[in-house]
């Protein structure tokens, strides 16, 4: 996803833009799923709180990001928006990939397995 944003900085043909958008869509689904899964691993006894914090962070971050980037878009600084988003997503991806794996519970409390 980050590389797709960075690819939008130079003015490429429409086909590069379309491939970048498709890549971002697939990447969003993968990132969302990975972060949501990591949220369930935070605490097996507090999964509701972990999901609430995940949702709050996801939607709060999108809202704050839209408000902050809106100023840059209004100023015509699309390249800055793409650069910040691209580098930020690469950072989130690396942090998520390199974070220590949580120890999932071997017993499912809901069904007793």
Question: Roughly how many angstroms between the first and final C-alpha of the chain, as a whole number?
Answer: 37
CA dist 40 and 52 (Å) reads 11
Cα distance between residue 45 and residue 56, in whole Å? 19
pLDDT of residue 60: 92
Averaged pLDDT, groups of 10, the chain, 113 residues long: 87 87 87 78 76 85 90 90 91 83 52 44
Please name the residues in contact with 17: beta carbons below 8 A apart, sequence gap of 6 or more: 8
């Amino acid at each position: 996803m980050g590389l797709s944003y960075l690819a939008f900085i130079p003015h490429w043909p429409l086909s590069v833009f379309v491939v970048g958008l498709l890549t971002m869509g697939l990447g969003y689904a993968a990132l969302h799923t990975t972060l949501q899964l990591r949220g369930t691993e935070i605490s097996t006894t507090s999964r509701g709180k972990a999901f609430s914090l995940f949702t709050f962070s996801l939607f709060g971050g999108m809202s704050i990001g839209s408000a902050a980037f809106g100023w840059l878009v209004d100023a015509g600084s699309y390249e800055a928006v793409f650069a910040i988003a691209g580098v930020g997503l690469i950072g989130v991806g690396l942090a998520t990939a390199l974070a220590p794996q949580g120890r999932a519970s071997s017993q499912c409390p809901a069904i007793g397995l």
